Structures are given as C-alpha cells and as structure tokens.
C-alpha cells in the first residue's frame, strides 16, 4: 500500500476519501482553490496545498498545478474522486507519467469508454443490447434527417461528458430546432439515440483488479432525476428480480471485460418498463456519487477497495460470495432552490445540524459557517438510509430528513420529503420522468 495520497477533488467526496485513508494508515494531501481556503476537506487532510484561483479551470481542472502539488507533497498516488478530472485520460496518463499511481482505470480504458460514440461501437461488438443510435451529426439538417430516420422521440447526447448535462429530448422537428439554439451541432460533438419514454435508469457497480478478475455488486435504481441528473438513488431496484440481476450483472461484466477495465466503475443501462429489457447507455470510469448505497447493502467499502486495487492487491471476494443485505436509499442534498427551476443557491450556512441514529449515514462536505461556493457543483451532502426492507429504508430516510437543519441557503431537503411521501414512489412505480410527472416543480 502506498504511503501518501493526494486527493484531486473537494467537498464530500474528498472527505470520504480522507476517512478511508485514515483507516488504512495512508497520509492525505488536500488541494484547494482560493475560494476553498477554509473548506472542510482542506482542514481534515494531513496536508493542504493551494492550487489556484476560484475558477475551476485554473485550479481543480489544472493538471499542471495538481501535479506540482503532488510532487511538492511527495505523494505516491492521486485519487481524482468524481467530476473534475476523474474521467480525463490525459490526466491519468500524466499522473502515471510523473511516477505516481492513478487511483482509477488505465488511461487507455478511460479513452475507450469516455467517447460515447466509440463506447457504443465497442459495446455493440461485445454483444450488448443497444437502443437505435446514430453516428455524430454535424449540422441541424443532419440532426433532423437522422431523427426522422430513427423515429421520434429521440434524445440528443454529447459524445463526451456525463452527469446528464447537455442532453435534450426531441419529440419533433421543432424540438431539434430549439436544441440547436443551445448546442452547436457543427462541432460533431453530439449524436442521437432512440428515446425510451417509459424507462428506468439502472446501473451496475463493477469491481475489477489488475489481474483479470471482475465482479459486480448488484444494481442501483437511479430513475429519480431532474434535468436528466440524478437526485435520489436506491439499491436494489424493486423492478429487478434475482434472475434479471444475474442477467444485467453478466452484461456489465462483459462490458467491463471488453474495455479491459480495472478498479471500480459503473455500467449504466436503460430498462424498458414494459418489456424489462436492458439497453446499454455508458460506462462511468470512476467512483459514483451514489456508491454509498452499494456499500451499505453489500458491506464492501468501495473507496478502500479502489485504493487496494490501485496498490496492486487482487480481489479478495468472488462473485458467489457477494451477499445483499436489505435496502438502501440515498438523497442528494443540493444547494438549490427547487421552486426556482433548481437554480444554485450559494451562500453561507448559518446553522447546520445533520441527522444521525441507527441506519442513517451522512456524507457531507460542509458545516456551520461553511460558504457554499457559486463556482462548483451544488452538491453539499448525501443522506443514506438503510432498512431490512424498502419500506423500512423509506421510514429511516423520512426521519433523517426531518432532523436535518440547514439555514442560510436553500436546499433540496423539502423536495426529497415530498418524493418519499408520493404514493407512486412508495409503490415503486417510478421512471426517469417521475419528477416531471408527479412533482410540482
């Protein structure tokens, strides 16, 4: 195991990694921008180094600054967390080129799966089921003709990137024209897919060592979304039977093998609610925001697993030994105003009290007095609830959210409390359009 790790991230994921390192006896180095000088992650690490101004492109996305910090700190390895540089193959390559360990997949793997067009082609060759999709389109006219060929509705997706950003659903030609006001088709950076209206977003957690062994840790249901971005996740999915879990798990492992995957990652699928069929969407080559619910239902610490695999350890668990325990739900607490189109709500937290008690876990990047910056993602914390059944997990989450007190900024706590009371959610009758259908936002 390496001795000193630099964490090229901020907020709750940086703190989550710091905690795992502390339990493994690894020294931690935090990096921070000028805006984050007093941030919690910088205070909790063994060492903290400034990497530049508030602007993320000159700090958290600045490869040279991060590598300089790692060399100053004499770090043995770098963990990218999620977001920022976590899916940047050039960064992974630069880390290993500088003689350090990159905690994540190899650079060539990140390149294979990071380009959505290339990833779809790779998965098609591996025999994974696909929705009808296109090559990159280079003009509005090409987008219109392609959409008519595929058949409406279609979804317009960026070839690079993730997190649900820059995606548009088009039901007709007018929607394509509207999307053209927001994105530039001439760059060739977008492609079209057949849109499955009644779909569930199902993702499978995979773990792969450096010696060819790959397992899956079950699925997560990620259908509760706003603007194609997840806000609540749960494990397992009430719609996935043991037979379906075996099937989609095998598909995820096949996808990982075809990309020569190592470390932890997620293979994402759309599941047609009417047929139960799974369709490959993408591979996320990093730890996910929602990893904690898999940890809670399997008893496997995914961040420690990442670190151990990166240091050269083989997998210590086989597929047949993976056991699933109860049900877990995660609510993402964002500094956003749900009543104002989910606009970010930066500012200073004047009072902060997070829930506790049996079966409730909070991964937070803030405390009383913290300033939620306008420069970065609005996620400030995650609440994870666990129960023997889904019903118990819902009750634990309702109790935990009722205890949560954050003043000084708007948050999504109230939205989550409404979701948890919704009869469609409670029955498990959900899909990716749940918020648009059932919430008054």
The distance between the two most distant Cα atoms of the chain, rounded to a whole number of Å, is 58
Helix (H) and strand (E) counts for the chain? 15, 22
DSSP at 315: P
DSSP at 133: B
| Cβ-contact 232, 331 below 8 angstroms | yes
Q: How far apart are CA 183 and CA 68, in angstroms?
A: 35
Is 286 an active-site residue? yes
Q: How far apart are CA 267 and CA 244, in angstroms?
A: 15
Q: How far apart are CA 82 and CA 1, in angstroms?
A: 22
Q: How far apart are CA 196 and CA 96, in angstroms?
A: 40
Q: How far apart are CA 382 and CA 412, in angstroms?
A: 11
**405 - beta bridge partners?**
353
Question: Which of 105, 272, 87 is closest to 96 using CA atoms?
Answer: 105
Catalytic residue among 16, 286, 296, 390: 286
Rounded to the nearest 10°, the torsion over CA 241, 235, 338, 60 is -130
> Which residues are CB-neighbours of 264 under 8 A, at least 6 positions away?
205, 206, 207, 208, 286, 287, 291, 302, 305, 306, 309
Catalytic residues: 286
């Amino acid at each position: 195991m390496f001795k000193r790790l630099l964490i090229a991230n901020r907020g709750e994921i940086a703190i989550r990694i710091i905690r795992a390192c502390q339990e493994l006896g690894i020294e931690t180095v935090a990096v921070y921008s000028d805006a984050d000088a007093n941030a919690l992650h910088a205070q909790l690490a063994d060492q903290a180094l400034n990497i530049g101004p508030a602007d993320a492109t000159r700090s958290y996305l600045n490869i040279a600054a991060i590598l300089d910090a790692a060399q100053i700190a004499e770090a043995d390895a770098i963990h990218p967390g999620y977001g920022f540089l976590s899916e940047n193959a050039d960064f992974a390559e630069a880390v290993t080129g500088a003689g350090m360990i990159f905690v994540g997949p190899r650079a060539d793997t990140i390149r294979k799966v990071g380009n959505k067009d290339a990833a779809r082609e790779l998965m098609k060759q591996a025999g994974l089921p696909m929705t009808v999709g296109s090559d990159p389109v280079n003009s509005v006219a090409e987008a219109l003709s392609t959409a008519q060929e595929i058949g409406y509705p279609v979804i317009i997706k960026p070839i690079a990137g993730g997190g649900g950003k820059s995606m548009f659903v088009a039901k007709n030609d007018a929607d394509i024209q509207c999307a053209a006001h927001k994105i530039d088709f001439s760059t060739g950076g977008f492609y079209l897919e057949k849109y499955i209206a009644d779909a569930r977003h199902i993702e499978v957690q995979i773990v792969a060592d450096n010696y060819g062994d790959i397992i899956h840790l079950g699925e997560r249901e990620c259908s509760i979304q706003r603007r194609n971005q997840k806000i609540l996740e749960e494990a397992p999915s009430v719609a996935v039977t043991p037979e379906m879990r075996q099937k989609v798990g095998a598909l995820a492992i096949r996808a990982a093998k075809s990309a020569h995957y190592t470390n932890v990652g997620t293979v994402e699928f759309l599941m047609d609610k009417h047929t139960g069929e799974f369709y490959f969407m993408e591979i996320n080559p990093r730890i996910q925001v929602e990893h904690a619910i898999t940890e809670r239902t399997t008893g496997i610490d995914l961040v420690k697993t990442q670190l151990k695999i990166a240091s050269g350890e083989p997998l210590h668990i086989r597929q047949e030994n993976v056991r699933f325990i109860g049900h877990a739900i995660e609510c993402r607490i964002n500094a956003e105003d749900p009543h104002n189109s989910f606009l970010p709500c930066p500012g200073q937290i004047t009072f902060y009290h997070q829930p506790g008690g049996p079966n409730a876990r909070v991964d937070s990047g803030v405390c009383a007095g913290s300033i939620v910056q306008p420069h970065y993602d609005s996620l400030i914390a995650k609440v994870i609830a666990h129960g023997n059944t889904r019903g118990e997990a819902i009750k634990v989450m309702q109790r935990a959210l009722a205890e949560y007190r954050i003043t000084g900024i708007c948050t999504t706590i109230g939205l989550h409390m409404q979701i948890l009371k919704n009869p469609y959610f409670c029955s498990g009758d959900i899909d990716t359009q749940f918020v648009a259908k059932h919430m008054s936002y």
